[in-house]
Amino acid sequence: MTKRNKIIYWIATIWLSLGMLSTGVVQLLKLEQEVDLFVRLGYPIYFLTILGVWKLLGVVTILLPDGSHVLLNLAKEWAYAGFFFSMSGAMFSHIAIGDSVKDLFGPSLLLILTLVSWCFRPAGRKINFTNA
């Protein structure tokens, strides 16, 4: 992995982690603004707890050191997939209720950071089926 790619990976991963950590905490704390948003989007309030817990677990997982075991790298893939589905779902939810473009900024940014982090991840963080 080139030095440039490593820098891109870590910048994207750190910003992704900070974004997911902060939104996960807000969801777990059930702050009034977040509760109002979920009600407006038509989701049950208990989704806040589910999303918050999975975001925090996903952040921990993608920040764990390179795994020599295929199961750790598989967990990292699941974390990235969860981030992708969560953020793309948030975008489509905002679009479905007619929210403005500015409401798409947060989920779009986190979706882009998810893709950049995943695409630039080091070889040690990828699933290697030949050693499984």
Give the chain's mean pLDDT: 93
The predicted-structure confidence for 25-75, as pLDDT tens digits, reads as follows 999 999 999 999 999 999 999 999 999 999 999 999 999 988 667 888 899
Cα–Cα dist 124/132, whole Å: 13
Query: 74 in a domain, yes or no?
Result: yes
Query: 98 in a domain, yes or no?
Result: yes
Query: 132 in a domain, yes or no?
Result: no
Q: Which of 14, 4, 6 is nearest to 123 (CA)?
A: 6
Q: Is the pLDDT of residue 118 over 60?
A: yes
Query: 131 in a domain, yes or no?
Result: no
Query: 103 in a domain, yes or no?
Result: yes
What domain count does the chain have? 1
User: H helices within 1-132, ranges in order?
Assistant: 3-29, 32-41, 46-63, 70-96, 105-119
Q: Which of 132, 117, 129, 128 is nearest to 58 (CA)?
A: 117
pLDDT of 67: 66
Cα–Cα dist 38/93, whole Å: 10
Cα–Cα dist 39/34, whole Å: 9
SS3 state at 124: helix
Query: 38 in a domain, yes or no?
Result: yes
What pTM, to 2 d.p., does this model score?
A: 0.91
pLDDT of 81: 97
Query: 54 in a domain, yes or no?
Result: yes
Residue 9 belongs to what domain range? Answer: 3-126
3-state secondary structure 43-78: CCCHHHHHHHHHHHHHHHHHHCCCCCCHHHHHHHHH
